[in-house]
């Protein structure tokens, strides 16, 4: 059974809408519009019910795309194609109109989720020691579905969700220094600057303990003094 999240600014879903989805044995979660980003990593796909405020719908798409690997579909009440192209450009995987297309949506979702799950999405980074003294390269493979990493191809290390989110943010911005504030805004919201710095530093400390072995002479995460942290660009393949 797949987990399906529904974002609706109206706060409720139509009976027909839910009924069609339940026939395909989805586990349906209604995601609150105010804190949906805290729950979105629990679902395989998200359906965004089009808002009368198009800008709001666009924000839901962008936030979902930037903070999750879930499939994104928009359930449109507009029978024209006025907004379809815009939603697809912003990152939606599909746009379904109210009516007959709704009957097809569960099939599209099933096919896409099965295909996505059949491919184990592993992003691999490889780090070389700065000196060439016979030490083997260390590799770090990120496993999103488990919130874990694989060290050197054989040792899986479990991480907390927070640790994984922060390491993933550094990965996505490899070679670019991220400030304490930037990292904190991804992991938490509305934190004072001093609290941000302390909490980020604390999580990075625990991440380093898990992925940087003392005898490997490898440092995946570099400290950028007075600014924050950076994942070394040399860690990326190619």
pLDDT by residue (tens digit) across 186-213?
888 655 666 678 889 999 999 988 887 6
Residue 30: half-sphere exposure toward Cβ, Cα within 13 Å: 10
Note the helical H segments in the chain: 15-22, 54-67, 84-90, 100-118, 161-172, 180-187, 193-211
Which residues in the chain land under pLDDT 50?
Answer: 120-122, 131, 134-135, 214-215, 236-238
Interatomic CA distance for residues 115 and 105, integer angstroms: 15
Strands across the sheet containing 178-179: 178-179, 228-231, 221-224
- Taken in order of first residue, the domains within the chain and their CATH numbers are 3-118 (3.40.50.2300), 123-235 (1.10.10.10)
Residue with the two structure tokens 């089009």: 50
Report long-range pairs for 11-19 (Cβ below 8 Å, ≥24 apart): 13/49, 16/102, 17/49, 17/75, 17/102
Interatomic CA distance for residues 154 and 132, integer angstroms: 23
pLDDT on residue 204: 93
pLDDT on residue 67: 83
Q: Count the helix, strand and coil residues of the chain and give each as a percent rounded to the nearest 5.
A: 40, 25, 35
Interatomic CA distance for residues 202 and 39, integer angstroms: 23
pLDDT on residue 60: 92
Q: Write down the pTM of the prediction.
A: 0.49
pLDDT on residue 134: 47
CB 99 within 8 A of CB 78: no
pLDDT by residue (tens digit) across 180-191?
989 988 888 655
pLDDT on residue 100: 59
């Amino acid at each position: 059974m797949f987990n399906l999240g529904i974002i609706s600014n109206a706060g409720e879903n139509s009976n027909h809408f839910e009924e069609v989805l339940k026939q395909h044995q989805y586990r349906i979660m209604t995601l609150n519009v105010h804190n949906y980003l805290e729950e979105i990593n629990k679902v395989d796909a998200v359906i965004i019910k089009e808002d009368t405020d198009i800008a709001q719908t666009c924000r839901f798409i962008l936030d979902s795309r930037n903070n999750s690997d879930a499939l994104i579909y928009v359930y449109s009440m507009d029978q024209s194609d006025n907004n379809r192209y815009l939603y697809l450009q912003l990152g939606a995987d599909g746009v379904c109109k109210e009516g007959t297309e709704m009957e097809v949506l569960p099939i599209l979702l099933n096919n896409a989720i099965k295909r996505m799950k059949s491919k184990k999405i592993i992003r691999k980074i490889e780090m070389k020691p700065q000196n060439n003294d016979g030490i083997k390269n260390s590799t770090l493979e990120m496993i999103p579905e488990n919130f874990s990493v694989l060290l050197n191809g054989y040792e899986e290390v479990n991480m907390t969700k927070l640790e994984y989110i922060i390491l993933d943010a550094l990965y996505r911005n490899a070679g670019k220094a991220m400030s304490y504030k930037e990292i904190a805004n991804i992991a938490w919201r509305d934190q004072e600057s001093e609290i941000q710095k302390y909490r980020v530093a604390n999580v990075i400390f625990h991440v380093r303990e898990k992925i940087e072995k003392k005898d490997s002479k490898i440092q995946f995460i570099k400290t950028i003094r007075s600014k924050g942290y950076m994942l070394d660009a040399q860690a990326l393949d190619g």
